[in-house]
Structures are given as C-alpha cells and as structure tokens.
C-alpha cells in the first residue's frame, strides 16, 4: 500500500463510520416514534379516569389497577375472549383449508374452464364487502344461524379470493415433475396436496394464517350484525360497552385493548418463522 492510498482509505473508513452512525440514529428516532404511543397507552391504563380527564401531565398522579379489574368485572370479557378465539381459530382453519384446495386445483389440475374460473376468482377481489352484506345476512337468517358464532365462521369456510391467488402463485412455482412423480408412486390427490405441496407453502400459509386470524379477531361489524346476546359477543364489541353517550372511560378501554392484543401477539410469535420465510420466498419470486 502506497502512501498516497492511505489517506483515501482512511477517508472512506471515516465516511462509512459516519454513515453507520447516522443510520443507527435514524433507527433510534424511528423506534422512539413507534414505541411512544404504545408506552403512553400502557401508562394511561394505570391511571384513574378522573386523573386522565383533569390532569394535563402524561405521568399519572395516581396509580391503580382498577381499569384492568373493570374490564373483567363490568362485562364478561373472559367469555368474550373465548368466543373470539373460538370464532377466529375455526374461521382461519376453514378458510386456509378451502383456499389450499382451490389453489391446488387452479394451479396443477387440468380441466375445462380453469383459466376463466381463476379470472372470475380474481375479479371478486374488486367487489366491496358492503355489497354482500345484505345477501349474506339473508342466507344466514334463512339457515337459522343468527345469534350464533357459526354465522361468523361458516362464511369464512368458503375460502378467500386473495388467499387462493396467493397460494396458487406459489404452487405454480413447484415443478410439475414433482406432482407427476407423486402420482406415479401411487399417491392420491389428497396425499399430494397435504404431503407434498402443503409443506412447500408453509411460509405463505403462515402469512395467511396471521392475516385471517387478525381479520376475524378484530372484526367489529360482523358480531354487531349477527350476534345479539352479550355472552356471545367478541372482545372487540365488548370494548364498545365502555363508551357512554356523554362520557367515555378511555383508561378502561385502553386496558381492554391491551388485553385483547395478547392473543394476536401470541399468534404472531407462533408463525413468526413462517412469516419471515414466506416474505423471503415472495421476495425471491
């Protein structure tokens, strides 16, 4: 290394150090911006409502756990959480099963009208959900499922157009030779789906599982339309019980919001690895 090259290398090293420092500084600021509302929410759940209304300070003048107690005492939140989990788990499982079967048929099976059927499936993504509310309610009422959790579960078992499209695109990337080899070995069509293709799309399935679970767990409109009994409601509806006509107990609502976030956090941790793998595979495709 010559003496002329040493200042250039040193300058590049200094520039790289400055860039790294600025990157960490930007990330630190972004972390504070993202976490600040969550930390403020957590702090607010430990302050009485009168302190929240009268005090201008972010820090509570008085600490209490009454807000968390009120969440489970004033409404049947425990039963509501069970109802929400029951609906979300069954709806997600049925949705994924139907979507996997439909995606496999559209990706690997040969039958007349396959292209048109796939196009029609994708076209349904353009239909707003509000358009189907009245027809779907008419069907649910005709089946006698109003005020039953199955009114929220069974419609999800028909599959999802987005899930079918998402899974089909991944299955299209699986070589046809793999499917043909499994058939030649005597594997039935269900065996090919669940023993060959299903392990290959675990990443996309993890993503869809999280999205479907969140959509069902956070659904507010569906329970308000189909459910009538308070003991059959879901936790998202339960939080609205603390909103009065003239006053709203925000600390209790925030405490309940933190409680019902726990299942979604656990769901994310369970499928975290599949989520990262699915995003990586999707990026490579």
| 260 within 8 A of 235, measured Cβ to Cβ | yes
**Residues 46 and 106 grouped into a single domain:** no
Domain boundary among 66, 87, 119: 66
**Residues 214 and 253 grouped into a single domain:** yes
DSSP assignment letter at 185 = T
User: Residue 112's domain is classified under what CATH number?
Assistant: 1.10.3720.10
What's the domain count of the chain? 2
**Residues 135 and 52 grouped into a single domain:** no
Following DSSP, what letter does each residue of 218-273 receive, concatenated? Answer: T--HHHHHH---GGG--HHHHHHTTB-SS-B-HHHHHHHHHHHHHHHHHHHHHTHH
**Residues 15 and 58 grouped into a single domain:** yes
**Residues 91 and 120 grouped into a single domain:** yes
Domain boundary among 66, 86, 105: 66
**Residues 48 and 114 grouped into a single domain:** no
| 203 within 8 A of 278, measured Cβ to Cβ | yes
**Residues 79 and 206 grouped into a single domain:** yes
243: β partners: 248
**Residues 53 and 84 grouped into a single domain:** no
Domain boundary among 19, 47, 66: 66
pTM equals 0.82
**Residues 99 and 240 grouped into a single domain:** yes
Res 283: pLDDT: 43
At 53, list the tokens: 């209304």
Res 241: pLDDT: 86
**Residues 33 and 107 grouped into a single domain:** no
pLDDT tens-place values along the chain, 285 residues long: 555 555 545 566 567 777 788 888 998 999 888 888 888 888 888 888 888 888 787 888 888 888 899 889 888 888 999 999 999 999 999 999 999 999 988 888 888 888 888 889 889 888 888 888 899 999 999 999 999 999 999 999 988 899 999 999 888 888 888 878 888 878 888 888 888 888 888 888 888 888 899 999 999 999 999 998 888 999 999 888 887 766 778 889 999 999 998 888 887 787 777 666 655 554 444
**Residues 222 and 130 grouped into a single domain:** yes
Helix (H) or strand (E) holding 166: helix 161-172
**Residues 98 and 218 grouped into a single domain:** yes
Domain encompassing residue 191: 74-284
């Amino acid at each position: 290394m010559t003496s002329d090259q040493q200042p250039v290398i040193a300058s590049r090293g200094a520039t790289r150090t400055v860039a790294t420092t600025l990157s960490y500084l930007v990330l630190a600021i972004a972390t504070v911006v993202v976490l600040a509302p969550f930390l403020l929410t957590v702090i607010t759940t430990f302050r009485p409502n009168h302190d929240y209304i009268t005090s201008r300070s972010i820090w509570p003048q008085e600490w209490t756990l009454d807000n968390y107690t009120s969440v489970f005492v004033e409404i049947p939140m425990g039963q509501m959480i069970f109802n929400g989990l029951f609906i979300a788990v069954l709806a997600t499982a049925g949705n994924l099963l139907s979507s996997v079967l439909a995606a496999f048929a559209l990706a690997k099976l040969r039958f007349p009208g396959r292209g048109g059927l796939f196009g029609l499936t994708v076209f349904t993504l353009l239909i707003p959900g509000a358009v189907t509310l009245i027809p779907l309610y008419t069907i649910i009422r005709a089946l006698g499922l109003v005020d039953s959790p199955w009114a929220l579960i069974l419609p999800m078992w028909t599959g999802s157009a987005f899930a079918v499209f998402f899974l089909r695109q991944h299955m299209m990337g699986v070589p046809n030779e793999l499917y043909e080899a499994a058939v030649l070995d005597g594997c039935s069509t269900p065996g090919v789906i669940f023993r060959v293709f299903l392990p290959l799309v675990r990443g996309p399935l993890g993503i869809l599982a999280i999205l479907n679970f969140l959509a069902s767990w956070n659904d507010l409109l569906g329970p308000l339309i189909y459910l009538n009994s308070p003991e059959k409601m879901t936790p998202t509806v339960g939080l609205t019980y603390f909103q009065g006509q003239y006053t709203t107990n925000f600390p209790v609502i925030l405490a309940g919001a933190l409680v019902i976030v726990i299942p979604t956090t656990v769901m994310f941790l369970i499928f975290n690895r599949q989520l990262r793998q699915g995003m990586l595979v999707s990026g490579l495709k």
